[in-house]
């Protein structure tokens, strides 16, 4: 099944740019070299276990910019942000690595991961096995796979390769159809993105509409548009295990204080 057709949306422009960049990088850095990098990479941290704890598990996202809001945080200091969010109670980090539309980088990922003891997800537009090798070679513990941009065979193969390298992927869906495809591919971590990738509109109701279709053996994550402790509490009661939160934290004058408020707890003491 072909999951995506070009309709001139922001997503289409991002994918076009990413495909061109990946093709260039593959010529510069062959997969064979990445495989040597994987052998030298830091040991994988358990992403699934971090998201499966009792309570409100927040996957805090380091995102310099976004297509919908432009620059979110400047200056942007990944190690400082990672450290302060870990101390505030984040159970894992998501780091944007797409450079043109989100101003991210693999260096941001490496720098953030070295600063904390948390597992780190690579957030990007991943569609090529070469990118999965690149992800592990840069010390990531998981990677995002978007059903909306992948064919069914691609999704299965990328999930399998991620697992082969020790990384359980977070498979992101936006609709019931995408959720069915994710489950058919054997996904174990399902992220429901409340943002419509074509219009960039956000509806938290999307999570409530899809949670009943996610099997209990899967880890369920609600993503986008979560701004209050009450949002997290209601979604937790509905059956979600974890919450991916980026822009709310990045726009806050004090991201750690914003996270503490979302969790409704005092910050962790080291």
> Which domains, from first to last, does the chain contain?
10-263 (3.20.20.70)
Q: CB-hemisphere CA count at 13 Å for 89?
A: 24
CB contact at 8 A, 135 and 119 = no
1: confidence class by pLDDT, cuts 50, 70, 90: low
Question: Which tokens hold the place of 106?
Answer: 């693999």
- Residue of 115, 193, 207, 222 with catalytic role: 193
159 vs 201: which has the higher pLDDT: 159
Closest CA to 12 of 204, 149, 194: 149
pLDDT at 66 over 50: yes
Distance CA 260, CA 270 (A): 15
Residues 6+ away with beta carbon under 8 Å from 227:
248, 262
pLDDT given at position 269: 47
Q: Please state whether beta strands 242-245 and 219-223 pair in parallel, antiparallel, or not at all (unpaired).
A: parallel
Among the options 86, 94, 98, 123, which is catalytic?
123
pLDDT in tens, 120-155: 999 999 999 999 999 999 999 999 999 999 999 999
Distances (CA, A) of 199 to 10, 78, 209, 225, 244: 8, 29, 19, 14, 20
Provide mean pLDDT across the span 87-94: 98
Return the ∠ at Cα 61 (arms to 113 and 114), rounded to 5°. Answer: 5
Query: For position 187, what pLDDT does the model report?
Result: 98
Is the whole-model pTM more than 0.75?
A: yes
Where residue 166 falls (left for φ over 0; alpha for ψ -120 to 50; beta otherwise) is left
Give the pLDDT confidence score for residue 270 in this predicted structure: 43
Q: Report whether pLDDT(43) > 90.
A: yes
| Cβ partners under 8 Å of residue 98, min gap 6 | 14, 18, 104, 123, 124, 125
Q: State the pLDDT at residue 186.
A: 98
Closest CA to 60 of 255, 269, 267: 255
pLDDT in tens, 259-269: 999 999 754 44
Question: How far from each other are the two terminal CA atoms of the chain, in whole angstroms?
Answer: 49
Q: What is the pLDDT of residue 7?
A: 55
Q: Which of 63, 94, 138, 168 is catalytic?
A: 63
pLDDT, residue 199, reads 77
Q: Enter the DSSP assignment of 195.
A: B
Give the pLDDT confidence score for residue 9 in this predicted structure.
Answer: 83
Q: Is the dihedral of CA 8, 5, 222, 111 positive or negative?
A: negative
- The DSSP-derived string for 229-248 is HHHHHHHHHHT--EEEE-HH
Catalytic residue list contains 61: yes
Contact 162, 187 (CB under 8 A): no
Average pLDDT score over residue span 66-88: 94
User: 2 pLDDT band (50/70/90 cuts)?
Assistant: very low
Asked if 172 is an active-site residue, the reply is yes
Q: What is the mean pLDDT of residues 88-95?
A: 98
Give 42's DSSP letter: P
Q: Does residue 86 carry a catalytic annotation?
A: no
Tokens read off for 237:
């009661």
Q: Count CB-CB contacts under 10 A for residue 3.
A: 17
Around Cβ 58, how many Cβ atoms within 10 Å? 24
The average confidence (pLDDT) of the chain is 93
pLDDT digits (tens, 9 = 90+) for 197-238: 777 788 999 999 999 999 999 999 999 999 999 999 999 999
pLDDT of residue 266: 54
Residue tagged active-site, from 98, 134, 172, 247: 172
Residue 70 or 129, more confident: 129
- The pLDDT of residue 4 is 56
For residue range 167-188, list pLDDT tens digits in order.
999 999 999 999 999 999 999 9
Distance of CA 48 to the CA centre of its chain: 13
Q: Round to whole Å and give the CA distance between 133 and 61.
A: 22
Say whether 63 is catalytic. Answer: yes
């Amino acid at each position: 099944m072909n999951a995506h057709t070009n309709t001139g949306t922001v997503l289409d422009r991002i994918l076009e740019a990413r495909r061109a960049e990946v093709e260039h990088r593959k010529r510069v850095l062959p997969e064979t070299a990445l495989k040597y990098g994987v052998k030298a990479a830091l040991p994988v941290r358990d992403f699934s276990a971090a998201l499966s704890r009792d309570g409100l598990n927040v996957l805090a996202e380091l995102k310099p910019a976004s297509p919908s809001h432009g620059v979110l945080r400047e200056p942007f200091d990944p190690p400082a942000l990672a450290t302060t969010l870990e101390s505030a109670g984040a159970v894992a980090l998501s780091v944007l690595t797409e450079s043109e539309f989100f101003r991210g980088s693999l260096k941001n990922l490496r720098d953030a991961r070295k600063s904390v003891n948390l597992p780190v997800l690579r957030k990007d537009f991943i569609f090529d096995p070469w990118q999965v090798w690149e992800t592990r070679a840069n010390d990531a513990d998981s990677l995002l796979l978007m059903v909306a941009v992948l064919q069914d065979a691609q999704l299965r193969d990328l999930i399998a390769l991620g697992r082969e390298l020790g990384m359980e992927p977070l498979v992101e869906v936006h609709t019931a159809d995408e959720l069915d495809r994710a489950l058919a591919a054997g996904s174990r971590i399902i992220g429901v993105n409340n943002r419509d990738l074509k219009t960039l509109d956000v509806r938290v109701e999307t999570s409530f509409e899809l949670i009943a279709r996610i099997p209990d053996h899967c880890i369920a994550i609600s993503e986008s548009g979560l701004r209050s402790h009450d949002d997290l509490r209601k979604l937790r009661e509905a059956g979600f295990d974890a919450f991916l939160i980026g822009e709310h934290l990045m726009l806050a004058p004090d991201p750690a204080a914003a996270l503490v408020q979302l969790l409704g707890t005092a910050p962790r003491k080291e």
